[in-house]
A and B are shown apart, each in its own frame.
Chain A
């Protein structure tokens, strides 16, 4: 009886503690894109479940080691229990349910991030290429989260990666820049291709990463939300200077972005 009470107390504090830690311990950098808060929701859920499972299992092991340790002079064996069908069913079913929940939940998150949107629509209309290109991967810009302040027209940018730098080409204005400038709350659609080996475009504050592959363009869509300067990091081993292959993305207000754009734009006629 007493041990039953203690056990349920332990379970309750494990659950409450796990939820508390999941909600209150922040392990992530700032969120600066539309899908970053969605990502953080998923992270909280996974972190909570993970903490509960880990502390629970580790606790059981440590408890068993202490409680059932062989005391001096004890030579006998433990009880010859070889299994228990209902226990086996229980600990097959519970993880299966947890995993199913995690899978469905993360599908929902993925969908909200725009992962299920077709990638090639509405983009790069300026391109005259009539060849059916192989376009892969990437992630769309979230639709569900869009609020009124978010513009509907997409800013197309072409990304060229090569050992050991990123180059950003703005077809509108024909700007070539080593630094990425984007206005807040406007969806950006990047078409990326590598000139040599595989690189990866990663902005931790956007919670997004996409490989940049030679011979096979990839697409990455995102909508920045928070002004600031964030690192762009190459995340795929690409040679000796891989660790130095970094750049920045400057997220700025629409006005600041327009200033930057005007200062650098080559075709001033289009842009009036």
Chain B
């Protein structure tokens, strides 16, 4: 079942890898290096995507199209969506934290396929550069991140083809990562470690990776067909040649609805790791948390047509997808109740990690509620493709996933660097982000309900004031990045030393030095069968492990 760990005195090829900061620019095979490569690379793309978002909000501060040319606006919009999804959230919640944490959690020295892992990462920078440079060289794609034909067939070809190529590369990267996570979680577990003893993030990554492996190839195939339509003038999706544009939408959403869970399930996992540590209580309802992840995976595959209620969708299909989508709220809700129960009666440190996690809970609950409303066909026929939907998914993707990424950075930064972040700046960062975010996106619900469609550069002047509020919120969000950047850069050099386990956590990544050595442990990997055993009798034993700085622990 489990592959034996190689004896650690064996000459490993990793000796040939560069050391020091240079290894972050190398084809390193160390899962921790790859994880941080994903994280920093993703963050750079986040800054670019954020600059594009600011440009959008500047344009929308006035009702006429005055800041950018209209076709440039559509390029910016397309790049913003594509970058945020495929280059920031998906790589970071999966690739960055997955690579860093999963080998620790299963008690392995690395991922199952280290070379595939490095390849998966190194597909990302060229794909991202290609996508962004298309803006300067040929003009970027203009048909939105959904690239619906026939619009994507009739807009300038070069930009669209480059868009397809880079999404194909990123999809490939994602599939490689998914295969690697499944293999690592199922096959590299340390002897004696049961599946139901794994930290929750492993379950989240297992579920996510199943979704990645099942659905991403469908997107890839669809985009290949679309590119044929563009360059070879085939007629798969081109109505002029007898093609069917609705088929594209089905295929696209068969991937892209699961994609929203690919962005959020890992975030669910990360929150499940962070909250127990800082509230000093076990994760509430472990088994139900696992089952609800798996229920979300199964249901998530059969709800895609809720994005198509107003397109060519017959009534029976509308009904089926309404019901299936509504039911996803049940397993999702269970997870939120369990997190609140984890907090309940704890000894909660109100630090930046906890604040961002709790901000996530609050934002996501609102996004989930509007999601269930959107799942109701009669409700959706009014607000589909309006700012209401924009508000919904930003509550989920920004208020959810991005808040969790920040929370995770605050939580694991001491592990990554061996130094602490400044908590006061962190809490200030949270405050500005939370206020800016809600100021930006809450009013957009009203805009959508009252008649503002999405993806427009100009709008009815009656909406000017609310749009300006939203733009002020966006400005706050942009500014909130500055204290964060200063904090992570300054603390990397000047932050107080963290020690191995500043949070007194019980999950395995904390039972080694910070930052951890190559191959993770100097001795054997510890067997952690109760990753959430806070407040338990046998705590002394674990404290002993925790206090042991060189982590040479061979007990149990």
Interface residues of A (CB under 8 A from B): 27-29, 35, 38-39, 42-43, 46, 49-50, 53-54, 57-58, 60-61, 64-65, 68-70, 74, 76-84, 87-88, 91-92, 95-96, 99, 102-103, 106-107, 109-110, 113, 115-116, 134, 136-137, 139, 196-198, 200, 202, 204, 207-211, 213-216, 218, 231, 233-244
Q: CB-defined interface of B343-362 with A at 8 Å, one 1/0 digit per residue?
A: 11111111000100010011
CA distance A218 to B338 in the complex (A): 45
The answer to whether B239 touches A216 (Cβ under 8 A) is yes
Closest 6 CB pairs of A and B: A215-B239, A243-B456, A77-B535, A80-B535, A204-B451, A240-B70
The answer to whether B382 touches A78 (Cβ under 8 A) is no
The answer to whether A209 touches B382 (Cβ under 8 A) is yes
A110-B385 contact in complex given A61-B358, A76-B347, A211-B312, C-beta closer than 8 Å:
no
A76-B450 contact in complex given A54-B369, A107-B319, A137-B313, C-beta closer than 8 Å:
no
Contact of A136 among B142, B151, B314, B539 (CB under 8 A): B314
CA distance A107 to B240 in the complex (A): 36
CA distance A134 to B304 in the complex (A): 22
The answer to whether A80 touches B365 (Cβ under 8 A) is no
Closest to A205 in B: B451
A218-B244 contact in complex given A115-B377, A237-B148, C-beta closer than 8 Å:
no
**B310 near A: Cβ within 8 Å?**
yes
The answer to whether B344 touches A68 (Cβ under 8 A) is yes
**B427 near A: Cβ within 8 Å?**
no
Min Cβ gap A35→B in Å is 8
Among B284, B358, B376, B534, max chain A CB count under 10 A is at B376
The answer to whether A87 touches B384 (Cβ under 8 A) is no
Contact of B345 among A46, A78, A233, A244 (CB under 8 A): A78
**Residues 287-332 of B at the A interface (beta carbon under 8 Å):** 287-288, 310-315, 318-319, 322-323, 326-327, 329-330
The answer to whether B326 touches A103 (Cβ under 8 A) is yes
Could you tell me how many residues of chain B have their Cβ less than 8 Å away from some Cβ of chain A?
Answer: 98
CA distance A65 to B275 in the complex (A): 11
A231-B347 contact in complex given A64-B340, A209-B310, C-beta closer than 8 Å:
no
The answer to whether A70 touches B458 (Cβ under 8 A) is no
Closest to A238 in B: B151
Min Cβ gap B291→A in Å is 10
**Residues 432-479 of B at the A interface (beta carbon under 8 Å):** 445-446, 449-451, 453-460
A84 CB contacts on chain B under 8 angstroms = 284-285, 341
CA distance A113 to B377 in the complex (A): 11
The answer to whether A233 touches B349 (Cβ under 8 A) is no
The answer to whether A235 touches B311 (Cβ under 8 A) is no
A38 CB contacts on chain B under 8 angstroms = 378
Contacts A60-B340, A77-B535, A80-B536 supplied; 4 other A-B pairs, CB < 8 Å: A35-B378, A68-B348, A96-B327, A209-B382
The answer to whether B453 touches A95 (Cβ under 8 A) is no
The answer to whether B379 touches A95 (Cβ under 8 A) is no
**B487 near A: Cβ within 8 Å?**
no
A231-B318 contact in complex given A39-B382, A207-B381, C-beta closer than 8 Å:
no
Contact of A96 among B155, B330, B337, B343 (CB under 8 A): B330
A243-B459 contact in complex given A81-B345, A198-B151, A200-B385, C-beta closer than 8 Å:
yes
B361 CB contacts on chain A under 8 angstroms = 57, 61
A78-B239 contact in complex given A39-B382, A46-B379, A216-B246, C-beta closer than 8 Å:
no
CA distance A196 to B283 in the complex (A): 54
A99-B379 contact in complex given A70-B347, A82-B284, C-beta closer than 8 Å:
no
The answer to whether B284 touches A81 (Cβ under 8 A) is yes
The answer to whether A83 touches B457 (Cβ under 8 A) is no
The answer to whether A58 touches B362 (Cβ under 8 A) is yes
The answer to whether A57 touches B336 (Cβ under 8 A) is yes
Min Cβ gap B232→A in Å is 20
Min Cβ gap B487→A in Å is 22
**B214 near A: Cβ within 8 Å?**
no
**Residues 253-310 of B at the A interface (beta carbon under 8 Å):** 279-288, 310
The answer to whether B378 touches A113 (Cβ under 8 A) is yes
The answer to whether A78 touches B347 (Cβ under 8 A) is yes
Min Cβ gap B309→A in Å is 8
**B65 near A: Cβ within 8 Å?**
yes
The answer to whether A233 touches B451 (Cβ under 8 A) is yes
CA distance A38 to B369 in the complex (A): 20
The answer to whether B343 touches A64 (Cβ under 8 A) is yes
A88-B334 contact in complex given A57-B362, A198-B148, C-beta closer than 8 Å:
yes
Q: CB-defined interface of B210-241 with A at 8 Å, one 1/0 digit per residue?
A: 00000000000000000000000000000110
A214-B245 contact in complex given A61-B358, A136-B312, C-beta closer than 8 Å:
yes
B155 CB contacts on chain A under 8 angstroms = 239
B340 CB contacts on chain A under 8 angstroms = 57, 60-61, 64
CA distance A80 to B284 in the complex (A): 9
CA distance A238 to B534 in the complex (A): 55
A213-B312 contact in complex given A69-B348, A78-B345, C-beta closer than 8 Å:
yes
**B71 near A: Cβ within 8 Å?**
yes
Closest to B380 in A: A209
The answer to whether B327 touches A139 (Cβ under 8 A) is no
The answer to whether A198 touches B150 (Cβ under 8 A) is yes
A116 CB contacts on chain B under 8 angstroms = 315
The answer to whether B71 touches A110 (Cβ under 8 A) is no
The answer to whether A197 touches B154 (Cβ under 8 A) is yes
B451 CB contacts on chain A under 8 angstroms = 29, 204, 231, 233
B372 CB contacts on chain A under 8 angstroms = 46, 99, 102
A49 CB contacts on chain B under 8 angstroms = 369
Closest to B331 in A: A92
Closest to A100 in B: B326
Contact of B150 among A196, A234, A240 (CB under 8 A): A196
